[in-house]
């Protein structure tokens, strides 16, 4: 889905999430495990206020396992529970239900102490486009989509998906915008497919990606393109890949657009293995935005 994020559109998205907040006990904040900082909405704390939340690091199968562990520890330090999941394969689904109960334990215990038999926990998913919201909903839903009538306070009828006996999930996720003002964040969103790369210059994206691989995964880069060492000049890497893979124009000149397409395609096809494009220690994360 391509969304043009105009100010009016952002305000509408925010309003929709705020309205639905009243209906749920917990928010599942879905982010891309490869870019847990860049794939968060910049105003998420302000929007969801003090509503309990579970951060879901989705697409964990495509991310560096060790780095994902560091992110989970990072969130834990901030008092936020985070889980690594793979919605496509359905990994981590039971853990979501379990963690939700643990996060809401005090509230549920209080209700029990008052003699109220707790109902199923109600949750909604929020995340930026392409985070995997529909995939996760379908995974959790199996065939358990339950229609409930009009819910007071909201104009549209909400449908709840039953996930086992103890969790109900709102069938429509909250779609929020990413932090796209920042150039580097934009690069990471493009390389992971969260925004269309037609919005960026493909050669710039490739320069960014090669520099990133050089720094974070030099051995994988050398191995993939048979490089004995990594030249300082990124153009020399383009030239080398162009010659190696036959990305040439007439007269034997390197076709840089073809090299760019090839590198980006190979990153997306996981030819370099699972990659994490950001680590918690590299991020300058404002305290109040986590």
Ligand X SMILES: Nc1nc2c(ncn2[C@@H]2O[C@H](COP(=O)(O)OP(=O)(O)OP(=O)(O)O)[C@@H](O)[C@H]2O)c(=O)[nH]1
266: Cα separation from own chain's centroid = 20
Rg of the chain taking only CA atoms, in angstroms: 22
Specify which residues 83 forms β-bridges with: 56
Phi, psi at residue 165, to the nearest 5°? -90, -20
Closest contact distance (angstroms) between CB of 235 and ligand X is: 32
- Is 41 annotated in some ligand binding site? no
Closest contact distance (angstroms) between CB of 126 and ligand X is: 10
- Is 243 annotated in some ligand binding site? no
- Please select the residue that binds ligand X; options are 175, 190, 210, 264, rule is CB under 6 A: 175
Question: Which stretch, 55-63, 177-185, 250-258, 273-281, contacts ligand X (CB under 6 A)?
Answer: 55-63
The four Cα atoms 218, 219, 220, 225 give a dihedral, to 10 degrees, of 90
Closest contact distance (angstroms) between CB of 87 and ligand X is: 4
By the rule CB under 6 A, 59 interacts with ligand X: yes
Separation CA 127–CA 177 (nearest Å): 8
Confirm if 31 and 290 have CB atoms less than 8 A apart: no
Of the two residues 104 and 136, which places its CB atom closer to ligand X in the complex?
136
By the rule CB under 6 A, 206 interacts with ligand X: no
- Per-residue interface string for the shown chain with ligand X, residues 135-154, x marking contact by CB under 6 A: x-------------------
Closest contact distance (angstroms) between CB of 233 and ligand X is: 34
**Taking the chain, what is the end-to-end CA distance rounded to the nearest angstrom?**
27
Single out the residue of 201, 25, 49, 46 nearest to residue 106, CA to CA.
25
- Is 179 annotated in some ligand binding site? no
Separation CA 232–CA 229 (nearest Å): 10
Closest contact distance (angstroms) between CB of 168 and ligand X is: 19
Question: Which stretch, 56-64, 204-212, 216-224, 255-263, contacts ligand X (CB under 6 A)?
Answer: 56-64
Separation CA 81–CA 52 (nearest Å): 10
Of the two residues 14 and 107, which places its CB atom closer to ligand X in the complex?
14
By the rule CB under 6 A, 124 interacts with ligand X: no
Specify which residues 86 forms β-bridges with: 91
- The secondary element (H helix, E strand) that includes residue 179 is none
By the rule CB under 6 A, 132 interacts with ligand X: yes
Q: Which residues bind ligand X (CB under 6 A)?
A: 1, 58-59, 61-62, 86-88, 127, 129-135, 175
Tell me the binding residues: 58-61, 86-87, 130-135, 174
Tell me the binding residues for GTP: 58-61, 86-87, 130-135, 174
């Amino acid at each position: 889905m391509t969304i043009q994020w105009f100010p009016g559109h952002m305000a509408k998205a925010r309003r929709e999430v705020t309205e639905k907040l009243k209906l749920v006990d917990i928010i599942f904040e879905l982010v891309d495990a490869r870019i847990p900082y860049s794939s968060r909405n910049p105003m998420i704390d302000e929007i969801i206020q003090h509503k309990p939340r579970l951060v879901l690091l989705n697409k964990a199968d495509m991310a560096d396992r060790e780095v994902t562990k560091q992110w989970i520890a990072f969130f834990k330090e901030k008092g936020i529970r985070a889980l690594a999941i793979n919605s496509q394969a359905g990994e981590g689904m039971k853990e979501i239900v379990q963690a939700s109960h643990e996060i809401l334990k005090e509230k549920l215990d209080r209700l029990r102490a008052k003699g109220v038999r707790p109902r199923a926990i109600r949750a909604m998913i929020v995340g930026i486009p392409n985070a995997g919201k529909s995939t996760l909903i379908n995974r959790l839903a199996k065939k358990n989509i339950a229609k409930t009538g009009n819910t007071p306070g909201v104009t549209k009828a909400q449908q709840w998906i039953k996930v086992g006996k103890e969790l109900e999930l709102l069938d429509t996720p909250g779609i929020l915008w990413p932090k796209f003002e920042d150039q580097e964040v934009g690069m990471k969103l493009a390389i992971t497919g969260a925004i269309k790369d037609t919005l960026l210059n493909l050669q710039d994206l490739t320069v960014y990606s090669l520099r990133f691989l050089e720094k974070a995964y030099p051995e994988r880069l050398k191995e993939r393109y048979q490089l004995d060492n990594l030249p300082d000049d990124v153009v020399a890497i383009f030239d080398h890949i162009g010659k190696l893979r036959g990305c040439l124009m007439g007269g034997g000149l390197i076709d840089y657009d073809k090299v760019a397409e090839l590198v980006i395609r190979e990153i997306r096809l996981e030819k370099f293995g699972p990659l994490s494009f950001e680590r918690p220690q590299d991020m300058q994360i404002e305290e109040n935005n986590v």
